[in-house]
Amino acid sequence: MFEAVKNIFKIQELKRKILITLGILIIYRIGSFVPTPGIDTGALAEYFNELTKAHGQTFFGMINLFTGGALGRLSIFALGIMPYITSSIIMQLLTAVVPALERIAREGRAGHEKINQYTRYMTLGLCLFQGFMLSKWLETLRTSAGRLIVPGGGLSFEIITVLTLGCGTVFIMWLGEQIQERGIGNGISLIIAISIISRLPSSLYYLWVLYSPLNPAERQISTLTVITLFIMWFLLIMAVVLFTQAQRRIPVQYARRVVGRRVYGGQSTFLPIRIDMAGVIAIIFAQAVLLFPTTIANIFPQAGSFLGMIGNIFRADTIWYNLIYVVLIIFFMYFYTSMVFNPLEIANNLKKYGGFIPGIRPGKPTAEYVDFVATRIVFVGAVYISTIAIFPSLIIKFFNIPSYAIASFFGGTTVLIMVGVILDTMRQIEGQLLIRHYEGFMKGKSLRARR
């Protein structure tokens, strides 16, 4: 592995791509600290700290994690790349159900560019809407001490906020595309991953404060607990790497075809079906559904006892929350897989190119067999994803850690995104090394990422 890292800097093109990627990520992190005009950032940080201490993880806390703390500071990148991610998921689902979009998607590169353009337009619309709603909400907030988040509100503040946040998200989207074209790795995924990783130092600091080695009398967790947490974290990462690369391989045989004097086909290959086919998307959907009512109940506690009851049911430390969380993850795993995985199309493609699964007749029987295998593989993936998702709650309960900022790095979206993006980036770098006859990161093996 160390030899592969040394070889990276021997290839000028690869070194240039990596330096461009690092430069763009640094620009993104600098922009995360540039505040939006008209905001008392100190009062806003105080309000979010009070909200987190009183109610634990909220919808805003999840968004703040994905933006690398930009929402907590309401910087120009406060909305982050989430509007683009939301638009991409919506367009992907619409492509599977709307015939007109499906026809566009099948037009090759031109169709892909059209879908991307529609996604950008939808992203811009979401940014303007979310920026306006966020500005209106901020004007109503104040801390428990009575400090106003927006000292001087009004129409001018709302217009400036909408334009600033909208332009910030569009700029992030452009940065991600520049990484995709001129750098290395998936630009959008790298931006999300670097945002999550940027929260790791503060989480380690919180853990240090809880441990308090300078004053043993103030310790809230023991030395044994700290050691156990670090061991569990490394074991968890190993498990996520294993399941991320795990796949069920269905053997496929291609019949021989004689065209003129040449013989085509005859080789054996396999059809890979990944265990975590939906992966982090199922967790994001489930978290959004669960955290949204809790956040509304916490923001408007005066609205009545019904919202208060909803807030208590959906608290992250309750058994009902975790049970509903698991059910939603399993549902979204199957729902998303059914939208993007089409066994009938796979069977038709195999038949078209002369491929068949040994022992299975081509056509509909092949589609039924692939669907049979995928259904059971998705269940295994759903159990794995559910376990990863509720792991932070288990850490909080059994180790009595009061900060969700620490526990969130022991599962859920954070670990899945970090490991998946790192594996994907390493796979692309390894591909560049192997093309130029250098040794990859793993001798005799190749990395497989999420895709």
Helices 41-55, 280-299: crossing angle, 10 deg rounding: 100
Q: Are 92 and 226 members of one domain? A: no
Look at residue 432 and tell me if it is in a domain: no
**Tell me: the pLDDT tens digits for 335-370?**
888 877 888 888 888 888 778 888 888 888 888 998
* In the predicted structure, residue 309 carries a pLDDT above the cut 90: no
Q: What is the pLDDT of residues 415-432, one digit of tens each?
A: 888 888 888 888 888 777
Mean pLDDT of 440-449: 56
Q: What CATH number is given to the structural domain containing 18?
A: 1.10.3370.10
- Asked whether residue 445 is assigned to any structural domain, the reply reads no
Among the candidates 198, 231, 257, a domain finishes at: 198
DSSP assignment of 26-47 equals: HHHHHHTTSBPTT--HHHHHHH
| 106-124 pLDDT per residue, tens | 887 888 888 888 999 999 9
Whether 51 maps to a domain, the answer reads yes
3-state helix, strand, coil in the chain (%, to 5): 70, 5, 25
In a domain, 159, yes or no: yes
Residue 251 near residue 391, CB atoms below 8 Å = no
Furthest CA-CA distance within the chain = 86
Rounded mean pLDDT of the chain? 79
Q: Is position 426 within any domain?
A: no
Residue 176: which domain range?
A: 11-198
Q: 233 with 363, same domain?
A: yes
Number of domains in the chain: 2
Same domain, 308 and 279: yes
In a domain, 438, yes or no: no
* 46-53 average pLDDT score: 72
Q: Do 95 and 187 sit in the same domain of this protein?
A: yes
Do 121 and 242 belong to one domain?
A: no
Same domain flag for 194 and 223: no
Question: CA 269, CA 279: separation in Å to the nearest integer?
Answer: 25
CB of 403 closer than 8 Å to CB of 210: yes
347 and 397: one domain?
yes
**268 and 173 inside one domain:** no
Strand partners, 406: none
Query: Of the given ranges (276-285, 373-382, 387-396, 439-448), which has the lowest mean pLDDT?
Result: 439-448
Asked if residue 180 is part of any domain, the answer here is: yes
